[in-house]
Structure 1
Amino acid sequence: MSRTASRDALAAIRTQVMWNRLIAVVEEQAQSLLRTAFGTITREAGDLSAGVYDVNGNMIAQAMTGTPGHVNTMATAVAHFFKHYPQSTMKPGDVFITNDPWLGTGHLFDYVMMTPVFLGKKLVAFFASTCHVIDVGGVGMTAKANSSFEEGTLIPHLKVRKEGRLNEELLSVILANSRSPVEVRGDILSLVSANDTGARRLVDMMKEFSLTSLDALAKHILRQSEKGAREAIKALPEGEWSYEMPLDGYERELTLKSKLIIKGGKITVDFSGSSPASLFGINSPRTYTHAYAVFGLKAVIAPHVPNNIGSLSCFDLVTEPGTIVDPIRPSPVTARHVIGQMLADSVFGCLAQALPGTVQAESAGPIWILSLYSAHGRVPPEQTAKAKNFAVINMGLGGIGGRPGKDGLATTAFPSGVGTIPIEVTETQCPLYFRRKHYLADSGGAGQWRGGVSQRIEIANTEDAPFAISAATFDRVIHPAQGREGGQPGCVGLAARGSGSKLPDKGIHIIEAGDSLVLELPGGGGFGRPDRRDRAALEADIAAGLVTVEAARRDYGHEG
């Protein structure tokens, strides 16, 4: 090897080592948030994201810990701060905040925190992070509002810390409009601290590698990521494919229409023709729509390519303002993932036509956020006179669709990737307890590769008092996850009282004293014809209680 070739090889190795270190830095940033957050949805379920950006606000690396909805919305969120605070005006110790749904992560419950990083007096990068806080005022975690003004307190792009000093006046406004001020303050400070952790580690890294700027490394990362994504796209067949997905909706059923166009090394997903925006808070702002539509494409087409603004630039989005995937201010958006987390399955429906036999079946879709409250203020006061006042969150997860060569995963969130919250944690926070939480037999769609099974959950109160549940995110109770390549649909969801009455909509419902809340989550669709399922695998399902003998006979023709 010549001296020049040797020098180039060493430079390439050094660049790759720095790239890997950058990913380690943002992962430490995310872990800092995960370990210090007050809210259980962040601390236990990992509903967060963290990333590092160049001086122009381009996301160059993201943490592995976190959700696509948060990460991909933050990819463009940082640049919005510059319209209010040009980079030249920023100082060491400054931190910026917003929870604007249209310029952040899609609803008011997520604060985006941005921190400039200085090497000496020189601005070299930005860190951003976000997480879901438990309460932002307004009507709370419910879809019943008719405008974003009712949903909570919007914080525009402002400084939450100025040259190292916290803006206590701003914090006092935020906390005065929250029913859980201690937890919200803790989460906000955790976001600030996580960014500070990332900033310290980045400065250490730059000093170690004798860097005075990240510009060259950032350009290399974005160039290589874009190249990898474009090469993956060029290997696909060119053409146009369309798919329609019926959705439960709220006041009416909805239709999600998607068209996929692959041409010239670029992909466009077009949601034109989708239903007009709902009157209630299930609409997905365009930023959130882009996040999950692109995630669905990238998960199939280029999962090996790093996720940053370089690879994301290969995907274009077309939406019509005023629809469920692009609502206009001040449309309500609190439960935006009811629509947004269906988008991956929507684009999968197109990809399955372009790449037959290679795309998984539909999944349960949006996570069911179990927002549980005491009934104070919702029933006559004598019913809650001796009851504890509380507000807690847990998670209900359905099944993932069957995959080519593999069954769908059970009780797993897709596409969000959010984890569950241990029932013991919730039970220590409130007087509620979980009577049952187990796999739901026959919930996964029949197929050569069975859909992921869901779960049945029953919750009751230890106190002789009613409690409330927000059903804002309970979906697929009408339209199940569809199978693929001859597979059958998964089961629909169910939300009811133990006494028998179903919860009629996505509103807030009272569970009377002595009664219970019963939830059956949707299952994933099956992949491939059921009569092709391996007999030993089916017998194992029956033995494990995942498939009943009756369903095995009906759906698989099992003679046992």
Structure 2
Amino acid sequence: MGDINEIRMQVMWNRLISVVEEQALTLLRTAFSTSVREAGDLSAGVYNAKGEMLAQAVTGTPGHVNTMAEAVLHFIAEIPREEMYPGDTYVTNDPWKGTGHLHDITMVSPSFKGDELIGFFACTAHVVDVGGRGFGADGKSVYEEGIQIPIMKFAERGVVNKDLLKILRLNVREPDQVIGDFFSLAACNDVGHRRLIEMLNEVGYDNLDTLGDFILSRTHAATMERIAGLPKGSWSNEMLTDGYDEPVKLAAKVTITNDGVNVDFAGSAAVSRWGINVPLIYTKAYACYALKCVVAPDIPNNAASLAVFNVSSPSNILNAGRPAPVSVRHVIGHMVPDVVLGALAKALPGQILAEGAAALWNVHISVRPVTGEPGGRAEVLMFNSGGMGARPDLDGLSSTAFPSGVHTMPIEATEHTGPIVIWRKELRPDSGGDGKYRGGLGQVIEIAPAEGHEFDFSAMFDRISTPARGRAGGRDGAPGSATLDDGTKLRPKGWQHVPAGRRVKLELPGGGGFGDPAERAPEARAEDLSKGYVTEKKS
């Protein structure tokens, strides 16, 4: 009988995961912003009544999923239980209580079965605009970066807060897109709730308590079993990133004990005066993701698996407090896994992939007619990825978003959002670091305003002066570059102008190689040459 019950609970666990997958797909199908609809820059999850994450959707980014795991607790602390009602939806974009910057909207909805609060559904998505300076690193404080929405009710008992919508409309450049995404987020949670109630009614459960206890206890036991098999001790690593106008040092010390894994970021650079700072909630999210990739990649991500990881930092660029500017916190935040993995590579030699491009090469474009007329203006957001680092037994993946996991945005979808033309988007030969296993390739992209238009764009690039390092004798990946088509160098971060008739040319960085290049198989080198991954002079 015990075995049958175990199987039944496992089936219900899988069913719960399918519930949150449908929750996420609702957001993908109804979202207005291309960053959500095309790139999957979102997350969705279900939580018990205590606010502990039970399951997450596979669709989504670690930065959103893992910050949301903590964010739900902030919502519960802010809104008293007696003020929660069926049909409610709560919202915030607070960088320190949400997911790290103002462009991410987090919505949490209580789930009631009858009069009993049985859990919560939460989701997050990146919206195209939140006002202020726009999506860029130029702000000197969070107050310049856009509208701040404290934890509050988006809807109470199913009635939407119209005053909040009015405030949003007057503070953002693309009100229809932004408000459309707000409703998509709320609908996403509502679908999750309805599917959960259907599931509970079908199996005859009144709440999530029994299933939740099963999920968390099994996950904890499995994760601790993996911890037991790791070497014990402390290992440190440092790396440089480009920063805004000077290199930024990131440092991590990883300590593995019988009780779990601790990461401390003491020694990292001080809080920056530019918007590249990272709230600790986001640093934790990506540090935990790196640890989980190594320690327990096949164990479900929930409150129990995350609980064995402890992340700390004194006040610095990876733990920047309010009101530090944090708009492009992802650039430095996406480097966190490489810092952590570099320390783990010393504990587990030969088992950790090389460094990669890491940070997305996002481009936010504000395009307008050269005549200055109001019609024809648009805000366009484009996500691009460099190469992943080579793995201990495989080449690195080319133009792949690691660690964020967002999808490539199709050219057609991007051009549809505004008057721009993408003239070129192709793999960049010779950009992957040489080694027994080659680093993934970056890509070359050329973007221009459509005829009769010009644009300003916000650069959010890294790995230009500090390329991805190889591992175990592998060579470094090629650094990136950003220029106009006439060769004019552009800054790696910040808002810049592109006049009519000119193109932005982006050469994205490649991933580092793994192992001695002399050990690369001749047939692999021949294939690299035949596919154009390397040129003859490099082969």
TM superposition score category, shorter chain reference = over 0.9
| Counterpart in the other structure of 1:502 | 489
Distance between the aligned counterparts of 2:12 and 2:310, measured in 1?
A: 30
Q: CA deviation at 1:341?
A: 0.4
Which of 136, 151, 172 is residue 130 of structure 2 equivalent to? 136
| Counterpart in the other structure of 2:115 | 121
Matched, 1:30 2:17: no
* Unaligned runs of at least 5 residues, structure 2: none
Matched, 1:368 2:355: no
Which of 424, 434, 453 is residue 441 of structure 2 equivalent to? 453
Letter of the aligned partner of 1:185 in structure 2? I
Deviations 1:165-213 (A, max 9, x none): 1111111112211100000011000000000000000000000110012
Asked if 2 retains the 8 angstrom alpha-carbon contact of 1:400 and 1:413, the reply is yes
Distance between the aligned counterparts of 2:130 and 2:450, measured in 1?
A: 28
SS at match of 2:383: strand
Matched, 1:59 2:53: yes
Letter of the aligned partner of 1:525 in structure 2? G
How many residues are aligned here?
Answer: 539
Distance between the aligned counterparts of 1:498 and 1:388, measured in 2?
A: 24
Distance between the aligned counterparts of 2:419 and 2:2, measured in 1?
A: 64
Q: CA deviation at 1:91?
A: 0.8
Letter of the aligned partner of 1:78 in structure 2? V
Distance between the aligned counterparts of 2:383 and 2:97, measured in 1?
A: 26
Q: CA deviation at 1:420?
A: 1.2
More displaced, 447-456 or 247-256?
247-256
| Counterpart in the other structure of 1:334 | 327
Asked if 2 retains the 8 angstrom alpha-carbon contact of 1:129 and 1:195, the reply is yes
Distance between the aligned counterparts of 2:267 and 2:374, measured in 1?
A: 52
Distance between the aligned counterparts of 1:114 and 1:462, measured in 2?
A: 40
Alignment of 1:57-96 (within 5 A): 57-96=51-90
Alignment of 1:84-483 (within 5 A): 84-321=78-315, 323-375=316-368, 383-385=371-373, 388-471=376-459, 473-483=460-470
Distance between the aligned counterparts of 1:133 and 1:175, measured in 2?
A: 14
Asked if 2 retains the 8 angstrom alpha-carbon contact of 1:387 and 1:463, the reply is no
Deviations 1:341-373 (A, max 9, x none): 001111110111100101000010110111111
Distance between the aligned counterparts of 1:466 and 1:433, measured in 2?
A: 11
| Counterpart in the other structure of 1:3 | none
Distance 1:449 1:166, change over 3 A: same
| TM-score, scaled relative to structure 2 | 0.98
Q: CA deviation at 1:263?
A: 1.1
Q: CA deviation at 1:427?
A: 1.5
Asked if 1 retains the 8 angstrom alpha-carbon contact of 2:368 and 2:376, the reply is no
Distance between the aligned counterparts of 2:202 and 2:463, measured in 1?
A: 52
Deviations 1:62-96 (A, max 9, x none): 00000000000000101111222122321111110
Distance between the aligned counterparts of 2:511 and 2:193, measured in 1?
A: 41
Which of 490, 502, 511 is residue 524 of structure 1 equivalent to? 511
Letter of the aligned partner of 1:29 in structure 2? Q
SS at match of 2:453: coil
Asked if 2 retains the 8 angstrom alpha-carbon contact of 1:283 and 1:327, the reply is yes
Asked if 1 retains the 8 angstrom alpha-carbon contact of 2:482 and 2:492, the reply is no
Which of 528, 535, 538 is residue 548 of structure 1 equivalent to? 535
Asked if 2 retains the 8 angstrom alpha-carbon contact of 1:384 and 1:466, the reply is no
Q: CA deviation at 1:265?
A: 3.2
Distance between the aligned counterparts of 1:114 and 1:160, measured in 2?
A: 10
Distance between the aligned counterparts of 2:82 and 2:212, measured in 1?
A: 20
| Alignment RMSD (CA, Å) | 1.1
Letter of the aligned partner of 2:472 in structure 1? E
Alignment identity in percent? Answer: 49
| TM-score, scaled relative to structure 1 | 0.95
Deviations 1:502-548 (A, max 9, x none): 11241111111211100000100001111111111111111111101
Deviations 1:382-441 (A, max 9, x none): 653497211111111100000011100010000000011111112122221111111101
Asked if 2 retains the 8 angstrom alpha-carbon contact of 1:375 and 1:510, the reply is no
